[in-house]
Amino acid sequence: MDKEERYTLEILNRIEQNGRVTQPEIASQLGISIGLANAFIKRIARKGYIKLTTIPRDRAKYLITPRGIAAKSRLTLKYLQYSLNFYKKAKDAIAQAYALLAEEGIKDVVFYGTGEFAEIAYILLQQYRMNLAGVFDDNRTGKLFLKYRVGAIDDLKSINFDKIIITVVEAADEVVERLKAAAIPEYKIFILSEATLDSRRTIYSSEKANHKRIPA
């Protein structure tokens, strides 16, 4: 299941739940820019999945069409199949990654990123002698993730941690650059999400870019 299909399903679900949902609300819920949310909504509308009504004139409302309902059912089934495969792959890769961190004697970690992948990472973390000191995500600042209040990158300065584990599946490299720009040492950055995408890819895990790899 690709990114466009996931966003399409999420938007259709939001509109089905609340036809008066706004583009900024959709953007916030999906963790994307308003411009990108607008582009996806227009694309979905062109496919005939939704339509916009303005009756009464001052109350705009999205309606999901029969074609949209059929698309949502198809995408939901595809998502369930994707999720089962994703969960198994993610679970195995995360366990191997945590084993590497445990070998290094890592005790206090923070997550950057929220969502399903981070939830799996959190569940598995309970099996290791590591403490989750905080959760950060600039797209979710101030919201709750599990029992943690989500902070922004700038808030990392007030937290003591051994590693920041990147738990976003997409755009992890961009997150790395933002962390480095915020003066986070590269040796403290661990790109956990790469393990689920390709177990042969490099994962930042030690000082001076001395990379370790998850076994294929």
pLDDT, one tens digit per residue, over 138-161 is 988 999 998 999 999 999 989 999
pLDDT (0 to 100) of residue 57: 62
Question: Which amino acid is present at 91?
Answer: K
pLDDT of 206 > 50? The answer is: no
Which CATH code for domain 85-213? 3.40.50.720
101 phi, psi to nearest 5 deg: -65, -40
Q: For Cα atoms 119, 125, 129, give the angle at the middle one, nearest 5 degrees.
A: 160
pLDDT of 209 > 80? The answer is: no
In words, the CATH class of domain 3-64 is mainly alpha
Name the residue ranges covered by the structural domains of the chain.
3-64, 85-213
pLDDT (0 to 100) of residue 29: 84
In this structure, are residues 129 and 175 in contact, taking their beta carbons and an 8 Å threshold? Answer: no
Integer CA distances (angstroms), 99 to 62, 120, 125, 139, 153, in order? 47, 15, 10, 29, 26
What would the mean pLDDT of 90-114 be, rounded to a whole number?
91
pLDDT, one tens digit per residue, over 163-204 is 999 998 777 888 999 999 999 999 999 987 554 444 333 344
pLDDT, one tens digit per residue, over 40-86 is 999 999 999 999 887 666 667 899 999 999 999 999 988 888 888 87
pLDDT of 215 > 50? The answer is: no
Q: Which own/partner contact pairs does 179-182 have at CB distance under 8 Å and 24+ positions apart?
A: 179/112, 179/153, 182/153, 182/154, 182/156
pLDDT of 107 > 90? The answer is: yes
pLDDT, one tens digit per residue, over 119-135 is 999 999 989 989 999 99
pLDDT (0 to 100) of residue 216: 34
Question: Which amino acid is present at 174?
Answer: E
pLDDT (0 to 100) of residue 213: 37
